[in-house]
Structures are given as C-alpha cells and as structure tokens.
Amino acid sequence: MKRKLINLLCLFVMIVLVGCHPSDTQKERIEKGDTGFITDLDDKRLLIKSTYYKMTKETLIQDLKGRELSYGDLEIGMKVKPWYIGEIKESFPAKTKAKFLLVLTDAQSIAEQEAVKKAINHVTEAASQRFMVLYVLYEAKEKVYNIEMMNRSNTDTSFTVMVDERKNEVLY
C-alpha cells in the first residue's frame, strides 16, 4: 500500500512537471527594443534606429489610447516603442520579429515626428537612401530640434539636422 502511494505520488509529480513544461512558443521571451523613429517601411518591416522589425500575423500595433492600428497606418517619422520576440540577428541593420509596437501619439511625439519627417525629406537625394535617427534633442529656448542621423550606407559618420519648430523648416 505504501509503495503504491509513493508510485502514485511520483506519477502525479511527473504529470505536473510535464504539464508545466513551456511549449516552443513560450520559450521565446518578449524583449523591449529601443524607442525610436520609423525611418523605413518596406516589405512588412520597419526600421527603428539600427534594427529592422519584421511584422507577422501575431504583431500587435496600438497607439497610446489603446486603439489597434495596422501596418498600413504606420508612417515615416512616427515615434514607436517596440517589443520583439526571439533573438536579434547580428547584421547591420539588425533584424528581429516585432511582437508589439506602441505608437506614441502624445503632443511631444507628434511634434518630433513632424521634425523627423522634415529632416529625412531634406537629406534624401534618392528613393533608395535609408536613414537612421539616432536621437532627437529639443532646444526649448531656440525652439529647434537637433536630429542626429546616419545614412545606412555610410555608418562611419553621423550628422545633425536642425529643424525650426516655429517655421517647420530645416535650418541645417
């Protein structure tokens, strides 16, 4: 009797442990990427800083109010907080699968989006050019955005584009 009880208890523990074993989809952790600006939309993927995020059927896109968006709603210059699943492939730009994108729609992010779009349009000479926005710094006294950018084909140097908020024009 005692032996049957021990065997039954062992069987129960094994069933519980097997049931708790994560499936293949649970093994991949969701990680937060760097908040940044969309500077390229191509073939269901988007470039944020130096990472391409591939959109899948499981990718969820929302704005700050919780409204669900689609890939078609995304625009160059939008400020986004990305989350990804799986590993980041070591390439340049890096590549990963997007799990969740939070599009920042607050007043500051919208103003930054306009400045980033203006800067990208100003420096783009050919449709094939791709840029990365490294950071945006707002100088409140001067009402100027300093946007540090890098051409994806020339990663040796970065450059800064200045955009006047009042006139919505590039000062360079």
Chain segment 19-47, per-residue pLDDT in tens? 444 444 456 789 999 999 999 998 899 99
Paired with 159 in beta bridges are 149
- Domain extents in the chain: 30-170
pLDDT of residue 8: 40
Query: Residues with Cβ < 8 Å from 36, sequence gap 6 or more?
Result: 48, 49, 79, 80, 133
CB-count exposure of residue 41 (10 Å: 0-12, 13-18, 19+): middle
Q: What is the mean pLDDT of residues 3-17?
A: 43
Q: Output DSSP code: residue 29.
A: P
Report residue 155's pLDDT band, with 50, 70 and 90 as the boundaries.
Answer: confident
CB atoms near residue 114 (< 10 Å): 14
For the entire predicted model, the pTM comes to 0.80
